[in-house]
């Protein structure tokens, strides 16, 4: 069987890490695309030279012409600019909308059968722009945010409880970051919900609230420390899990920015919800009943995404 092809559009910090992980996991052959001249070829060559040492079989290549992505099975998009200290994800909207539109048109031309994962921020809006520009079926265009937000939440919880990160599960809904909705009652340690752990004296409600806030601000905390860009290892690892579930038809249940058609009372928008990811892309959107408080937080998050979608719509109408 021929190897799968994974195209990475944007070969910066996240793109390079994605290429390394995809190679190490032998997910398929990897191509990197970037507008920076020489850089995608350079990174691909460097990574290819790691393959004999690391012992993985994958071809790695790259270029500045969109034809390199031709026939890709999966396209992961990080093209655009990242945040600098003091910037919100939303500040990136002007420049990144244009970038994602161009990438979407290229995917339509060269890789119309691909499963597309968008990472470029502001995420929930950029994935909407991607679907519009590429014209691909919405179940084959998703955004990576929830896996990362829940990984951050899981990590902080595991630290607080002194248990393995593997035994902590977290459930998050809504837009990426600031308006993320953690579903505390569905987040567990080995199946024991967090509210029970508070009752058992493992932590306090105050500490839990602080962890939720730290998770929401998780990206900003790293931007502040790095000073020159934003997080890249955990975002790349999160997108790889999504790509793997698609390529191997694992049917993992993962929180992704998915296109809603009435679920949770939302239509024609991408918002973070739990989905089943398999060979068909988003095979199922899981709709759970929310409490009044959770619903209010979710609606607030949806409103924030909607405001940005409207900004893009106005921006595009102005150009027309």
Residues in the annotated binding site for substrate: 83, 89, 121, 152
Q: Which stretch binds ligand APR (CB under 6 A): 7-15, 179-187, 257-265, 266-274?
A: 7-15
Instruction: Tell me whether residue 176 is one of the annotated catalytic residues.
Output: yes
DSSP-assigned letter for residue 65: S
Annotated binding site for NAD(+): 10-15, 34, 96, 119-121
Report if residue 13 touches ligand APR, rule: CB under 6 A: yes
Q: Give me the least distance between CB of 17 and ligand APR, in Å please.
A: 8
Find the catalytic residue in 170, 176, 187, 235.
Answer: 176
| Helix ranges (DSSP H) in the chain | 13-24, 39-54, 93-110, 123-134, 146-161, 194-199, 205-216, 218-226, 233-247, 292-319
Pick from 4, 6, 12, 142: which binds ligand APR (CB under 6 A)? 12
H or E element at residue 255: strand 252-261
Piece of 9-17, 41-49, 132-140, 283-291 that binds ligand APR (CB under 6 A) = 9-17
Q: Which residue's CB is nearer to ligand APR, number 82 or number 272?
A: 82
Binding mask 117-156 for ligand APR (x = CB under 6 A): --xxx-----------------------------------
Q: Any contact of residue 232 with ligand APR (CB under 6 A)?
A: yes
Closest by alpha carbon to 28, among 54, 55, 7? 7
Cα 287 to Cα 167: distance, rounded to the nearest angstrom: 24
**What separation in angstroms does the CA of 300 have from each of 53, 130, 179, 184, 312?**
49, 23, 7, 17, 19
String of DSSP letters for 9-40: E--SHHHHHHHHHHHHTT-SEEEEE-SSTTHH
Query: Least Å distance between CB 134 and ligand APR?
Result: 14
Query: What is the C-alpha separation between 242 and 237, in angstroms, rounded?
Result: 9
Applying CB under 6 A, which residues contact ligand APR?
9-15, 34-36, 78-80, 82-83, 92, 96, 99, 102, 119-121, 229-230, 232, 235
């Amino acid at each position: 069987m021929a190897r799968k092809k994974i195209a990475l559009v944007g070969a910066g910090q996240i793109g390079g890490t994605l290429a390394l992980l995809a190679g190490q996991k032998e997910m398929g052959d990897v191509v990197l695309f970037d507008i920076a001249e020489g850089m995608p070829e350079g990174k691909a060559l460097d990574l290819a030279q790691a393959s004999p040492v690391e012992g993985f079989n994958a071809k790695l290549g790259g270029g500045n012409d969109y034809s390199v992505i031709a026939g890709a099975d999966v396209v992961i998009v990080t093209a655009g600019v990242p945040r600098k200290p003091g910037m919100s994800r939303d500040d990136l909207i002007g420049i990144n909308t244009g970038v994602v539109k161009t990438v979407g048109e290229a995917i339509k031309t060269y890789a119309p059968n691909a499963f597309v994962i968008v990472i470029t921020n502001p995420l929930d809006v950029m994935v909407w722009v991607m679907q519009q520009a590429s014209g691909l079926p919405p179940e084959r265009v998703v955004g990576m945010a929830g896996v990362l937000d829940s990984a951050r939440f899981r990590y902080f919880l595991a630290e607080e409880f002194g248990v393995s990160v593997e035994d902590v599960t977290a459930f998050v809904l809504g837009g990426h970051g600031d308006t993320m909705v953690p579903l505390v009652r569905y987040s567990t340690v080995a199946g024991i919900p967090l509210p029970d752990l508070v009752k058992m004296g493992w932590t306090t409600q105050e500490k839990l609230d602080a962890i939720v806030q730290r998770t929401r601000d998780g990206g900003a905390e790293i931007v502040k420390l790095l000073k020159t860009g934003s997080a890249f290892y955990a975002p790349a690892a999160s997108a790889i899990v999504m790509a793997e579930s698609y390529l191997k038809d694992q049917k993992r249940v993962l929180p992704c920015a998915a296109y809603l058609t009435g679920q949770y009372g939302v239509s024609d928008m991408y918002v973070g919800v739990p989905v089943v990811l398999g060979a068909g892309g988003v095979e199922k959107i899981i709709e759970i009943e929310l409490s009044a408080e959770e619903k209010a937080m979710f609606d607030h998050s949806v409103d924030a995404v909607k405001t940005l979608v409207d900004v893009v719509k106005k921006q595009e109408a102005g150009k027309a």
